[in-house]
Amino acid sequence: MSIVVSIPGVDKTNWWIEQLQGLLPAWTIRSFHDPGDVEAVTYAVVWKPKTGAFLPFPNLKAIVSLGAGIDHVLADTKLPRQIPIIRTVGTDLTQRMREYVALHVLRHHRDMPTISANQRERRWKQLVVPPATNRTVGVMGLGNLGSAAASTLSALGFETLGWSRTKRDIEGITTFTGEAGFSAFVGRCEILVCLLPLTDATTGILDGRLFTRLPRGASVINAGRGQHLVEDDLLAALDSGQLSHATLDVFHVEPLPSEHPFWTHPHITVTPHIASLIDAPTGSRIVAANLERFEREGSVPDLADAERGY
Ligand SMILES: NC(=O)c1ccc[n+]([C@@H]2O[C@H](COP(=O)([O-])OP(=O)(O)OC[C@H]3O[C@@H](n4cnc5c(N)ncnc54)[C@H](OP(=O)(O)O)[C@@H]3O)[C@@H](O)[C@H]2O)c1
Protein backbone atom coordinates (compact mmCIF):
# COMPACT_ATOMS: atom_id res chain seq x y z
CA MET A 1 0.00 0.00 0.00
CA SER A 2 1.16 3.51 -0.71
CA ILE A 3 0.30 6.75 1.11
CA VAL A 4 1.12 10.36 0.31
CA VAL A 5 1.19 12.94 3.08
CA SER A 6 0.55 16.68 2.65
CA ILE A 7 0.71 19.11 5.57
CA PRO A 8 1.87 22.73 5.40
CA GLY A 9 5.55 22.73 6.44
CA VAL A 10 8.26 20.27 5.40
CA ASP A 11 9.28 19.48 8.99
CA LYS A 12 5.70 18.65 10.00
CA THR A 13 5.22 16.48 6.91
CA ASN A 14 8.42 14.58 7.68
CA TRP A 15 7.39 14.17 11.35
CA TRP A 16 4.08 12.57 10.31
CA ILE A 17 5.73 10.37 7.68
CA GLU A 18 8.24 9.12 10.25
CA GLN A 19 5.54 8.36 12.83
CA LEU A 20 3.23 6.67 10.32
CA GLN A 21 6.06 4.64 8.84
CA GLY A 22 6.91 3.32 12.30
CA LEU A 23 3.33 2.07 12.68
CA LEU A 24 2.86 0.85 9.10
CA PRO A 25 6.29 -0.60 8.19
CA ALA A 26 4.97 -2.54 5.18
CA TRP A 27 3.40 0.58 3.57
CA THR A 28 5.22 3.05 1.31
CA ILE A 29 4.75 6.53 2.77
CA ARG A 30 5.98 9.61 0.93
CA SER A 31 5.43 13.34 0.69
CA PHE A 32 3.08 14.92 -1.90
CA HIS A 33 6.16 16.72 -3.22
CA ASP A 34 7.95 13.47 -3.98
CA PRO A 35 5.17 10.90 -4.45
CA GLY A 36 7.02 8.31 -6.55
CA ASP A 37 4.69 6.15 -8.67
CA VAL A 38 1.45 8.18 -8.59
CA GLU A 39 -0.62 5.23 -9.87
CA ALA A 40 0.41 3.15 -6.85
CA VAL A 41 -0.82 5.74 -4.36
CA THR A 42 -4.04 4.57 -2.68
CA TYR A 43 -4.38 6.92 0.32
CA ALA A 44 -3.71 10.62 0.94
CA VAL A 45 -3.23 11.97 4.45
CA VAL A 46 -3.76 15.75 4.45
CA TRP A 47 -4.24 19.00 6.31
CA LYS A 48 -5.30 21.99 4.19
CA PRO A 49 -4.38 20.48 0.80
CA LYS A 50 -3.90 22.80 -2.17
CA THR A 51 -6.59 23.03 -4.86
CA GLY A 52 -6.17 20.12 -7.28
CA ALA A 53 -3.80 18.29 -4.92
CA PHE A 54 -5.52 14.92 -5.49
CA LEU A 55 -5.72 15.05 -9.29
CA PRO A 56 -2.32 13.39 -9.94
CA PHE A 57 -3.44 10.22 -8.06
CA PRO A 58 -5.99 8.22 -10.13
CA ASN A 59 -6.28 5.27 -7.72
CA LEU A 60 -7.03 6.95 -4.39
CA LYS A 61 -9.28 4.79 -2.18
CA ALA A 62 -9.66 7.35 0.61
CA ILE A 63 -8.49 10.73 1.85
CA VAL A 64 -7.62 11.11 5.53
CA SER A 65 -8.27 14.53 7.07
CA LEU A 66 -5.76 15.19 9.83
CA GLY A 67 -8.45 16.66 12.02
CA ALA A 68 -12.11 16.33 12.94
CA GLY A 69 -13.25 18.84 10.30
CA ILE A 70 -13.31 18.10 6.57
CA ASP A 71 -14.00 21.68 5.39
CA HIS A 72 -10.33 22.10 4.42
CA VAL A 73 -10.63 19.11 2.06
CA LEU A 74 -14.04 20.10 0.63
CA ALA A 75 -12.63 23.59 -0.05
CA ASP A 76 -10.71 22.03 -2.97
CA THR A 77 -12.91 22.88 -5.95
CA LYS A 78 -11.19 20.13 -7.97
CA LEU A 79 -11.74 17.43 -5.34
CA PRO A 80 -12.89 14.12 -6.87
CA ARG A 81 -16.14 14.02 -4.84
CA GLN A 82 -16.59 10.25 -4.89
CA ILE A 83 -13.48 9.55 -2.76
CA PRO A 84 -14.39 8.76 0.88
CA ILE A 85 -12.98 11.14 3.50
CA ILE A 86 -11.90 9.73 6.87
CA ARG A 87 -11.93 12.12 9.86
CA THR A 88 -9.26 11.86 12.55
CA VAL A 89 -11.06 11.80 15.88
CA GLY A 90 -10.54 10.03 19.17
CA THR A 91 -10.25 10.33 22.90
CA ASP A 92 -7.01 12.36 22.70
CA LEU A 93 -8.78 15.06 20.70
CA THR A 94 -11.86 15.11 22.88
CA GLN A 95 -9.70 15.26 26.03
CA ARG A 96 -7.80 18.27 24.67
CA MET A 97 -11.01 20.03 23.69
CA ARG A 98 -12.52 19.35 27.13
CA GLU A 99 -9.47 21.03 28.70
CA TYR A 100 -9.60 24.05 26.36
CA VAL A 101 -13.31 24.64 26.81
CA ALA A 102 -13.19 24.18 30.60
CA LEU A 103 -10.19 26.53 30.86
CA HIS A 104 -11.76 29.34 28.85
CA VAL A 105 -15.32 28.99 30.12
CA LEU A 106 -14.00 29.18 33.70
CA ARG A 107 -11.84 32.13 32.70
CA HIS A 108 -14.88 33.98 31.33
CA HIS A 109 -17.07 32.86 34.22
CA ARG A 110 -14.65 34.17 36.86
CA ASP A 111 -13.91 37.31 34.77
CA MET A 112 -10.20 36.64 34.64
CA PRO A 113 -9.66 39.12 31.76
CA THR A 114 -10.78 41.97 34.09
CA ILE A 115 -8.73 40.60 37.02
CA SER A 116 -5.64 40.39 34.80
CA ALA A 117 -6.20 43.96 33.54
CA ASN A 118 -6.58 45.10 37.16
CA GLN A 119 -3.31 43.41 38.11
CA ARG A 120 -1.49 45.31 35.35
CA GLU A 121 -2.84 48.53 36.97
CA ARG A 122 -2.02 47.27 40.54
CA ARG A 123 -5.75 47.56 41.26
CA TRP A 124 -7.13 45.43 44.13
CA LYS A 125 -10.78 44.91 43.22
CA GLN A 126 -12.79 41.95 44.44
CA LEU A 127 -15.22 40.97 41.70
CA VAL A 128 -18.26 39.01 42.78
CA VAL A 129 -19.46 36.41 40.31
CA PRO A 130 -22.20 33.82 40.75
CA PRO A 131 -21.31 30.19 41.33
CA ALA A 132 -21.28 28.03 38.19
CA THR A 133 -24.66 26.59 39.15
CA ASN A 134 -26.15 30.04 38.50
CA ARG A 135 -24.36 30.49 35.16
CA THR A 136 -25.74 29.20 31.88
CA VAL A 137 -23.31 28.02 29.21
CA GLY A 138 -24.34 26.87 25.74
CA VAL A 139 -22.45 24.65 23.31
CA MET A 140 -23.21 24.86 19.58
CA GLY A 141 -22.54 21.47 18.01
CA LEU A 142 -22.96 18.29 20.02
CA GLY A 143 -20.74 15.90 18.09
CA ASN A 144 -17.60 14.20 19.37
CA LEU A 145 -16.11 17.42 20.67
CA GLY A 146 -19.20 19.42 21.61
CA SER A 147 -20.83 16.64 23.60
CA ALA A 148 -17.59 15.96 25.52
CA ALA A 149 -17.13 19.68 26.23
CA ALA A 150 -20.76 20.07 27.33
CA SER A 151 -20.51 17.08 29.70
CA THR A 152 -17.34 18.55 31.21
CA LEU A 153 -19.07 21.91 31.80
CA SER A 154 -22.05 20.16 33.34
CA ALA A 155 -19.72 18.20 35.66
CA LEU A 156 -18.21 21.53 36.78
CA GLY A 157 -21.70 22.58 37.84
CA PHE A 158 -22.70 24.92 35.00
CA GLU A 159 -26.27 24.99 33.77
CA THR A 160 -25.39 23.53 30.37
CA LEU A 161 -27.34 23.83 27.14
CA GLY A 162 -26.50 22.27 23.79
CA TRP A 163 -27.65 22.84 20.21
CA SER A 164 -27.38 20.47 17.26
CA ARG A 165 -28.97 19.81 13.86
CA THR A 166 -30.73 16.62 14.96
CA LYS A 167 -31.97 15.70 18.44
CA ARG A 168 -29.29 14.63 20.92
CA ASP A 169 -29.92 13.25 24.40
CA ILE A 170 -26.95 13.83 26.72
CA GLU A 171 -27.20 13.35 30.47
CA GLY A 172 -27.18 16.63 32.36
CA ILE A 173 -27.51 18.78 29.21
CA THR A 174 -30.65 20.59 28.07
CA THR A 175 -30.62 20.14 24.31
CA PHE A 176 -32.14 22.17 21.49
CA THR A 177 -32.48 21.28 17.84
CA GLY A 178 -32.34 23.09 14.51
CA GLU A 179 -33.83 26.48 13.63
CA ALA A 180 -36.82 25.94 15.90
CA GLY A 181 -34.69 25.50 19.01
CA PHE A 182 -32.12 28.16 18.16
CA SER A 183 -33.82 31.24 19.66
CA ALA A 184 -34.64 29.51 22.94
CA PHE A 185 -31.06 28.26 23.10
CA VAL A 186 -29.16 31.50 22.38
CA GLY A 187 -31.50 33.60 24.51
CA ARG A 188 -30.16 31.84 27.62
CA CYS A 189 -26.41 31.51 26.87
CA GLU A 190 -24.29 33.74 29.11
CA ILE A 191 -21.22 32.01 27.72
CA LEU A 192 -21.50 30.58 24.20
CA VAL A 193 -19.07 27.97 22.89
CA CYS A 194 -18.97 27.21 19.15
CA LEU A 195 -17.91 23.68 18.23
CA LEU A 196 -19.75 23.40 14.94
CA PRO A 197 -18.30 22.05 11.72
CA LEU A 198 -17.94 24.59 8.90
CA THR A 199 -20.71 24.01 6.34
CA ASP A 200 -22.87 26.24 4.14
CA ALA A 201 -25.44 26.31 6.96
CA THR A 202 -22.97 27.34 9.68
CA THR A 203 -20.76 29.83 7.81
CA GLY A 204 -21.15 33.26 9.44
CA ILE A 205 -23.44 31.91 12.17
CA LEU A 206 -21.64 33.95 14.86
CA ASP A 207 -22.97 37.26 13.55
CA GLY A 208 -24.58 40.45 14.82
CA ARG A 209 -28.06 38.90 14.77
CA LEU A 210 -26.94 36.09 17.06
CA PHE A 211 -24.99 38.44 19.36
CA THR A 212 -28.06 40.64 19.95
CA ARG A 213 -30.08 37.56 20.95
CA LEU A 214 -27.59 36.61 23.69
CA PRO A 215 -28.08 38.06 27.19
CA ARG A 216 -26.33 41.46 27.43
CA GLY A 217 -22.70 41.08 28.55
CA ALA A 218 -22.45 37.48 27.30
CA SER A 219 -19.14 36.12 26.06
CA VAL A 220 -18.23 33.90 23.15
CA ILE A 221 -15.64 31.18 22.64
CA ASN A 222 -15.03 30.04 19.05
CA ALA A 223 -13.06 26.83 18.66
CA GLY A 224 -14.94 25.71 15.54
CA ARG A 225 -13.68 27.49 12.44
CA GLY A 226 -12.78 31.12 11.74
CA GLN A 227 -15.45 31.39 9.04
CA HIS A 228 -18.18 30.80 11.63
CA LEU A 229 -17.50 34.33 12.87
CA VAL A 230 -18.39 37.63 11.18
CA GLU A 231 -15.39 39.54 12.47
CA ASP A 232 -16.77 43.10 12.11
CA ASP A 233 -19.98 42.08 13.91
CA LEU A 234 -17.91 40.78 16.82
CA LEU A 235 -15.96 44.03 17.09
CA ALA A 236 -19.22 46.05 17.02
CA ALA A 237 -20.84 43.83 19.70
CA LEU A 238 -17.77 44.19 21.96
CA ASP A 239 -17.63 47.95 21.42
CA SER A 240 -21.32 48.35 22.30
CA GLY A 241 -21.01 46.22 25.45
CA GLN A 242 -23.49 43.63 24.12
CA LEU A 243 -20.62 41.17 24.43
CA SER A 244 -18.06 41.36 27.24
CA HIS A 245 -15.29 39.13 25.87
CA ALA A 246 -14.41 36.70 23.11
CA THR A 247 -11.85 33.93 23.06
CA LEU A 248 -10.95 32.90 19.54
CA ASP A 249 -8.90 29.89 18.54
CA VAL A 250 -9.68 29.87 14.82
CA PHE A 251 -9.57 32.62 12.20
CA HIS A 252 -10.46 33.43 8.61
CA VAL A 253 -6.75 33.64 7.83
CA GLU A 254 -4.28 31.48 9.77
CA PRO A 255 -1.76 32.39 11.03
CA LEU A 256 -3.67 35.52 12.12
CA PRO A 257 -1.93 38.41 10.31
CA SER A 258 0.19 40.54 12.65
CA GLU A 259 -1.75 43.73 11.77
CA HIS A 260 -5.13 42.16 12.61
CA PRO A 261 -7.11 44.16 15.25
CA PHE A 262 -7.92 41.01 17.25
CA TRP A 263 -4.30 40.76 18.46
CA THR A 264 -4.50 43.93 20.54
CA HIS A 265 -8.21 44.19 21.34
CA PRO A 266 -8.64 44.46 25.15
CA HIS A 267 -11.67 42.17 25.12
CA ILE A 268 -10.39 39.47 22.78
CA THR A 269 -8.18 36.53 23.70
CA VAL A 270 -6.37 34.98 20.75
CA THR A 271 -5.10 31.42 20.83
CA PRO A 272 -3.31 30.03 17.75
CA HIS A 273 -5.60 27.14 16.73
CA ILE A 274 -4.42 24.97 19.61
CA ALA A 275 -7.71 24.03 21.27
CA SER A 276 -7.29 20.43 20.21
CA LEU A 277 -4.14 20.37 18.16
CA ILE A 278 -3.30 16.92 16.96
CA ASP A 279 0.35 15.87 17.18
CA ALA A 280 2.06 13.25 15.00
CA PRO A 281 2.83 10.64 17.68
CA THR A 282 -0.79 10.64 18.96
CA GLY A 283 -2.55 11.29 15.67
CA SER A 284 -0.61 8.77 13.62
CA ARG A 285 -1.90 5.96 15.87
CA ILE A 286 -5.48 6.96 15.00
CA VAL A 287 -4.65 7.40 11.30
CA ALA A 288 -2.78 4.09 11.04
CA ALA A 289 -5.61 2.18 12.71
CA ASN A 290 -8.16 3.79 10.37
CA LEU A 291 -6.06 3.05 7.27
CA GLU A 292 -5.53 -0.59 8.23
CA ARG A 293 -9.25 -1.03 8.93
CA PHE A 294 -10.29 0.74 5.73
CA GLU A 295 -7.91 -1.45 3.72
CA ARG A 296 -9.35 -4.57 5.40
CA GLU A 297 -13.06 -3.71 5.51
CA GLY A 298 -13.54 -0.93 2.94
CA SER A 299 -14.99 1.44 5.54
CA VAL A 300 -14.42 2.91 9.03
CA PRO A 301 -16.77 4.47 11.62
CA ASP A 302 -14.99 7.82 11.28
CA LEU A 303 -16.07 8.36 7.65
CA ALA A 304 -17.34 11.90 7.02
CA ASP A 305 -20.48 12.58 5.03
CA ALA A 306 -19.32 14.86 2.21
CA GLU A 307 -22.91 15.65 1.14
CA ARG A 308 -23.79 16.80 4.66
CA GLY A 309 -20.46 18.63 4.84
CA TYR A 310 -19.15 17.09 8.08
N1 LIG B 1 -9.92 24.47 17.33
C2 LIG B 1 -9.50 23.22 17.23
O3 LIG B 1 -8.38 22.89 17.65
C4 LIG B 1 -10.38 22.18 16.61
C5 LIG B 1 -9.98 20.84 16.67
C6 LIG B 1 -10.83 19.88 16.11
C7 LIG B 1 -12.04 20.26 15.54
N8 LIG B 1 -12.40 21.57 15.51
C9 LIG B 1 -13.70 21.97 14.93
O10 LIG B 1 -14.74 21.34 15.68
C11 LIG B 1 -15.73 20.89 14.76
C12 LIG B 1 -16.59 19.84 15.41
O13 LIG B 1 -15.89 18.60 15.54
P14 LIG B 1 -16.66 17.26 15.98
O15 LIG B 1 -15.71 16.14 15.85
O16 LIG B 1 -17.36 17.48 17.28
O17 LIG B 1 -17.78 17.19 14.81
P18 LIG B 1 -19.00 16.20 14.68
O19 LIG B 1 -18.82 15.00 15.53
O20 LIG B 1 -19.23 16.02 13.21
O21 LIG B 1 -20.25 17.03 15.29
C22 LIG B 1 -20.76 18.18 14.69
C23 LIG B 1 -21.94 18.68 15.52
O24 LIG B 1 -22.41 19.91 14.94
C25 LIG B 1 -23.81 19.77 14.69
N26 LIG B 1 -24.19 20.54 13.50
C27 LIG B 1 -23.72 20.46 12.24
N28 LIG B 1 -24.37 21.31 11.42
C29 LIG B 1 -25.27 21.94 12.20
C30 LIG B 1 -26.26 22.93 11.94
N31 LIG B 1 -26.44 23.44 10.72
N32 LIG B 1 -27.02 23.35 12.97
C33 LIG B 1 -26.88 22.82 14.21
N34 LIG B 1 -25.96 21.89 14.52
C35 LIG B 1 -25.17 21.46 13.52
C36 LIG B 1 -24.02 18.30 14.44
O37 LIG B 1 -25.40 18.00 14.59
P38 LIG B 1 -25.92 16.47 14.56
O39 LIG B 1 -25.55 15.93 15.92
O40 LIG B 1 -27.35 16.60 14.37
O41 LIG B 1 -25.19 15.80 13.42
C42 LIG B 1 -23.12 17.70 15.51
O43 LIG B 1 -23.76 17.70 16.75
C44 LIG B 1 -14.89 20.41 13.57
O45 LIG B 1 -15.67 20.32 12.38
C46 LIG B 1 -13.86 21.51 13.48
O47 LIG B 1 -14.36 22.56 12.70
C48 LIG B 1 -11.59 22.53 16.03
User: Which residues make beta-bridge pairs with 17?
Assistant: none
Taking the centre of ligand 1 as the mean of its atom positions, its distance from the CA of residue 228, in whole angstroms, is 11
302 lines ligand 1 (CB under 6 A): no
Q: How many CB atoms lie within 10 A of CB 151?
A: 20
**pLDDT tens-place string over residues 30-39:** 999 999 999 9
| CA-to-CA separations, 62 to 172, 289, 294, in angstroms, rounded | 37, 14, 8
pLDDT of 1 reads 85
Nearest CA to ligand 1 atom 25: 141
289, 301 contact by CB (below 8 A): no
Terminal Cα distance for the chain, rounded: 27
Taking the centre of ligand 1 as the mean of its atom positions, its distance from the CA of residue 197, in whole angstroms, is 4
Catalytic choice (135, 188, 225, 267): 225
Domains and CATH numbers, the chain: 2-88+278-297 (3.40.50.720), 91-270 (3.40.50.720)
142 lines ligand 1 (CB under 6 A): yes
**pLDDT tens-place string over residues 113-163:** 999 999 999 999 999 999 999 999 999 999 999 999 999 999 999 999 999
Taking the centre of ligand 1 as the mean of its atom positions, its distance from the CA of residue 199, in whole angstroms, is 9
**pLDDT tens-place string over residues 222-239:** 999 999 999 999 999 999
Residue 273 is a catalytic residue: yes
225 lines ligand 1 (CB under 6 A): yes
User: Which residues make beta-bridge pairs with 162?
Assistant: 139, 175
90 lines ligand 1 (CB under 6 A): no
Spatial distance between the Cα atoms of 244 and 264, rounded to a whole number of angstroms? 15
Spatial distance between the Cα atoms of 243 and 191, rounded to a whole number of angstroms? 10
Largest CA distance in the chain: 68
> Can you list the residues of the chain whose pLDDT is less than 50?
none
Spatial distance between the Cα atoms of 189 and 73, rounded to a whole number of angstroms? 32
Q: Which of 280, 221, 265 is nearest to 246 (CA)?
A: 221
273 lines ligand 1 (CB under 6 A): yes
